[in-house]
Structure 1
Amino acid sequence: MFKKTWLKLSVLVLAASLTLTACGGNSGGNKAANAPSTGNNENAVQGEVPKEVSFTIGYASGDPATKKAIADTVKRFMEANPHIQIKDISETTSSAYLDWLKTKDAVGEFPDLVEMRDTEVFADAGKIVELPSDLLDLFNDPPMVDGKVWNAPMQVNAPQGIIYSKKAYEEAGITELPKTYDEFIDIQEKLKASGISPLVVGGKDIFHMGFWVNKFLIDQVYANDPDWNSKRTAKEVSFTDDNVVQAMTDFKELFQNYVDKGWLSTGDNQTASFLVTGKAAQLYSGTWMFTQIAEADPNYEFGFYAVPDRAGNVNVIGLPSPAGWSISTEASKDADKTEAIKQFIRFFFEPENYSLYLASINAIPSTKEPVTYETGEQMKVALELIADPNVTKSLAINNWWGDNLIPPQFRNWYYKLLQELVIKDGDVLDYMKQADTEYDNQVKANAM
């Protein structure tokens, strides 16, 4: 399964890497190559008054750049199509996106068009429908769940890594990027000795915790066994196994020794400010942060790299996963609403519009049709990581699907457990025993 998926990704990434134009510069700023499309319906009969229709749209807003990119697209679409009104009900709290969607569903406000991340959960619950067949040709081999495509993938998963201040590195006497994890720790010591907080973490937002958690899980677990989740469900492996304990020990020690002490009260949207004001030297995050940092301070010079493991191997987020725009089952019952949603999806992925979205968050396109936008040196590194066959590509703990799907509530519970592990200086093995118990309880509860 792993090799087959990687072969598909190679083809997709090759196409994506050929459609992005890398250009030097330290700011990481981006500029779309084309003007946005109007999205007018060329098939409309001249003089015919379009029927008014409206639908709701829901998406995660934890990352400010992505929220703005989507909101801007929605605004342009409605300006070009005044007969279609889109009500934005994007998630606006620091709670988990899955929990927010479930709450919306419970009160009868599940979005008509929704950014879907937990696809299998909502597909099994009958809340979303398959992606209409006339939209499938827009994309390069989108992932399937139960043999069906449920999403219009908004982008390809891109690597996460260290975004670092070049000035801080220079002042700390750091002249080379790390080739092993131990060398990375040596860098943290030098930064700490120079008087700056080595790392900022937006721990107030639970999703942000996953960046470091999954870095260590991928290094110690998924890089060697991409089917670990299914084996855990079958009780063939355990969170108390040496590899998981080592991963979470590394996590705990990093947070206790090198992360800014206010991490639990720092929001993800504050992390760029920590960097550009010199409060912290580094942030472990994704490519969507490049534009935010450049906008916060166009003169801020920063670099990007993937943190190697102890053996010097590089393992990153990079496999495709079933996520993207999905149409709700309820909305699909209304032909006019469905057609309006399909029109928006086509508008979203038109190269002139899609390039603006991609440039805003430094994302890799998922479409068959070439899309171009200018990228900075940091995004060039990310593209090289994706294209490098020697770099192992993986997924976060909750992004696997099929037999490797974890109980939907476990991810957030686990991240909160690890926050407590750090704060209370807990025993890693004891906490992993708790993880085993909770995982089994959630598997049992979901099977009922």
Structure 2
Amino acid sequence: MTKNTITKLSIMLLTATTVLTACGGNNNNNASGGNTATKPASETPAANADAAAKKEISFTIGYASGDPATKKAIADTVKKYTDANPNVTIKDLSETSSAAYLDWLKTKDAVGEFPDLVEMRDTEVFADAGKIVELPADLLDLFESPPQVDGKVWNAPLQVNSPQGIIYSKKAYADAGIAELPKTYDEFIAIQEKLKTAGITPLVVGGKDIFHMGFWVNKFLIDDVFSKDPDWNSKRTAQTVSFTDPNVVQGMTDFKQLFKNYVDKGWLSTADNQTASILVSGKAAQLYSGTWMFTQIAEADPNFEFGFYAIPDREGKLNVIGLPSPAGWSLSTEAAQDADKTEAIKSFIRFFFEPEQYSAYLATINAIPTTKEKVTYDTSEQMQVALDLVADANVTKSLAINNWWGDNLIPPQFRNWYYKLLQDMVMKDGDVTDYMKQADTEYDNQVKANSL
């Protein structure tokens, strides 16, 4: 694959977001000001930036670091920026526990440590709470049609959402006599049986980190729910559909059976950052995860041969993560009140998305760029599969349950509660329908609590 291929693909994807995002033009109520009237030279953004560059400035930055590759990519860029701008100090507040990122951010807010620049994933939640401001108007031109919430852009998008799938050991597949990749979900299960019969643990799961549970949960929700009804969340909020409906019960039954029969027994105490080493050591044959794992696996063992594919549903269709969502760097409301701090943060964002830095970030996590300016990097065999999935019009693109917005936004605490409910269901061999009744009750309670 040539470097230009990924650039052309990313532009095609981002241009397509104009039909997916909310209507409305750029709003002028930005922290940087939207007034286009002529200003004195001393009040122009360039003059402000020059003035800020002469001062000692510090700001805090917060981002999710459950994935080691992403943490390293961001930390490397922060260091490059501060090396180039010695007057600016950036305090790293990256989340380092196995707690949910949303909960970590809420805790930081409660103790008065909400980051000045924050990787925002639950944009609508924090925008409604008045914790973040719109992306400054003079940064909008960096990106090609970034997703909007209520007609406003709140984020500098870090990357386009990439498909998740099975990362598998080619040696393990060969040892188990697996010569072809599955064309249906039943064929995928047959592969698990072959691995098991050959004495090979089929799957490793980093269940200690709650975010990791979402990979498998959403695989089945996308296949059985969202690929057929992208507005299911809004209907659940309106109580016109239920977690006890046959399609959801089928998906969660498949989830439970997969975990009971083919996942390594220590999955609940295994951290996400352990999964790469478990895979390359041969202790498990497969990992279901995203493209950010490719670099980690290659670094864990450069000689480890692995492949990547999306798991088909029962009808043989491919349904993957792939729609854009409003997420990325956001400026806190408090930081936006400080003109010097705002200019320093804007300077960092521009630096982050410069091709030299941004290409290194993208290459580290195998991601698709969001910028208008061309950004290239060498891609692997595995990443090419992911790019082909995104480019294939016959592959249904979707989002995880918690990444929808607008009318399809779920209660912010429900995702983690639901993932933990499913962990409990597997460990206790619980009845799927009974557990889905609990999900309905909790969902409605959270909707009611959030409306008060």
Superposition TM-score, scaled by structure 1 size: 0.91
**Given the alignment, which residue of 173, 176, 187 partners 1:183?**
187
Residue from 437, 440, 444 that aligns with 1:436: 440
Change (3 A) 1:428 1:91: same
Q: In the TM superposition, what is the alpha-carbon distance from 1:12 to its structure 2 partner?
A: 3.4
Among candidates 361, 367, 391, match of residue 357 of structure 1:
361
Q: Quick check: 1:65–1:288 contact (8 Å CA) kept in 2?
A: yes
What is the aligned partner in structure 2 of residue 81 from structure 1? 85
User: Does structure 1 retain, via aligned residues, the 8 Å contact 2:201–2:283?
Assistant: yes
Please tell me the residue identity of whatever aligns with 1:201.
V
Aligned with 2:220 (options 216, 241, 255) = 216
Runs (4+) of structure 1 exceeding 3 A deviation are 9-12, 41-49
Task: Using the TM superposition, give the Cα deviation of residue 51 of structure 1 relative to its aligned residue in structure 2, in angstroms.
Answer: 1.0
Distance 2:419 2:14 in 1: 34
Q: Which residue number in structure 1 is paired with residue 96 of structure 2?
A: 92
1:58-102 CA-to-partner distances (Å, cap 9, x unmatched) read: 000100000010000000000000011100011010000000000
**CA pair 220-79 structure 1, distance change in 2 beyond 3 A:** same
**C-alpha deviations, 1:158-182, integer Å up to 9, x for none?**
0000000000000000000000000
Contact 1:12 1:366 in 2 (8 A): no
**Amino acid aligned to 2:305:** E
Count of aligned pairs between the two proteins? 416
Q: 1:245 to 1:359 in 2, by over 3 A?
A: same
Q: Is the 8 A contact 2:185 2:311 kept in 1?
A: yes
Distance in structure 2 (CA, Å) of the matches to 1:296 and 1:279:
14
Change (3 A) 1:346 1:47: closer
Q: TM-score, normalised by structure 2?
A: 0.90
Once the two structures are TM-superposed, the CA of residue 44 in structure 1 deviates from its matched residue by 9.8
Q: Which runs of 5+ in 1 are unaligned?
A: 1-8, 17-40
Kindly state the Cα deviation for residue 426 of structure 1 after the two structures are TM-superposed.
Answer: 0.1
Aligned match for 2:280, one of 276, 285, 295: 276
Unaligned runs of 5+ in 2: 1-8, 17-44
Of 413, 418, 424, 2:417 maps to 413
Residue 315 of structure 1 and its aligned partner are, at CA, apart by: 0.2
2:13 aligns to what?
13
Letter in 2 for 1:210: G
Percent of aligned positions that are identical? 81
| Structural mapping, 1:9-408, within 5 Å | 12-13=12-13, 50-408=54-412
Q: Residue 320 of structure 2 aligns to which amino acid in structure 1?
A: V
Displacement of 1:46: 10
Q: In the superposition, relative to structure 1, how do residues 275 and 54 fare at CA in structure 2: closer, same or farther (>3 Å)?
A: same
Would the aligned equivalents of 2:15 and 2:145 in 1 still touch at CA under 8 Å?
no
1:14 deviates by 7.9
Q: Which residue of 2 aligns with 1:426?
A: 430
Mapped to 2, the partners of 1:47 and 1:227 lie a distance apart of 48
Contact 1:14-1:387 within 8 A present in 2 as well: no
Given that 1:12 and 1:140 are in contact with CA atoms closer than 8 Å, whether structure 2 keeps it comes out as no
Give secondary structure in 2 for the equivalent of 1:122.
helix
* Amino acid in the other structure paired with 1:94: S
Q: 1:190 to 1:80 in 2, by over 3 A?
A: same
Q: Which residue of 2 aligns with 1:33?
A: none
Secondary structure at 1:308 match in 2: coil
* CA shift for structure 1 position 10: 8.2
Instruction: Tell me how far apart the structure 2 counterparts of residues 125 and 79 of structure 1 sit (CA, whole Å).
Output: 35
C-alpha spacing 1:48/1:148, structure 2 compared with 1 (3 Å): closer
CA drift at 1:13: 2.7
Match of 2:202, SS state, is: strand
Asked if the contact 1:174/1:187 (under 8 Å) is kept, the reply is yes
How big is the shift at 1:15? 8.1
Cα distance in 2, alignment partners of residues 151 and 305 from structure 1? 30
Structure 1 pair 81–311 and aligned structure 2 pair: CA distance change class (3 A): same
How many Å separate the matches in 2 of 1:234 and 1:333?
Answer: 38
Deviation of the 1:291 alpha carbon: 0.1
Q: In structure 1, the residue corresponding to 2:312 is in which secondary structure?
A: coil
CA distance in 1, matches of 2:303, 2:57: 45
The 2-side partners of 1:89 and 1:55 are apart by: 10
Can you list the C-alpha shifts for 1:117-149, whole angstroms capped at 9, x where unaligned?
A: 000000000000000010001111111011100
Asked whether the 8 Å contact 2:201–2:264 carries over to 1, the reply is: yes
- Match of 1:67, SS state, is helix
Amino acid at match of 1:421: M
> Counterparts of 2:49 and 2:261 in 1: how far apart (Å)?
66
> Residues 320-361 of structure 1, C-alpha deviation per residue, up to 9 Å, x if partnerless?
000000000000000000000000000000001000000000
The whole-number CA distance in structure 2 between the counterparts of 1:238 and 1:48 is 54
- Does structure 1 retain, via aligned residues, the 8 Å contact 2:14–2:146? no
What is the DSSP-based 3-state SS (H/G/I as helix, E as strand, rest coil) of the residue aligned with 1:197? coil
Secondary structure in structure 1 of the residue aligned to 2:285: strand
User: What SS does the aligned partner of 1:290 have?
Assistant: helix
* Aligned counterpart, 1:447: 451
Instruction: Return the letter of the residue paired with 1:199.
Output: L
Q: Please report how far the alpha carbon of residue 196 of structure 1 lies from its aligned counterpart in structure 2 after TM superposition.
A: 1.1
| Structural RMSD (CA) | 1.8
Question: Contact between 2:178 and 2:191, CA under 8 Å: does it hold in 1?
Answer: yes
**In structure 1, what is the Cα distance between the partners aligned to 2:49 and 2:334?**
29
Which letter does structure 2 place at the counterpart of 1:377? E
Q: Alignment partner of 2:329: what SS?
A: strand
Relative CO higher for 1 or 2, CA cutoff 8 Å, sep ≥ 6?
1
Deviation at 1:47, TM superposition (A): 12
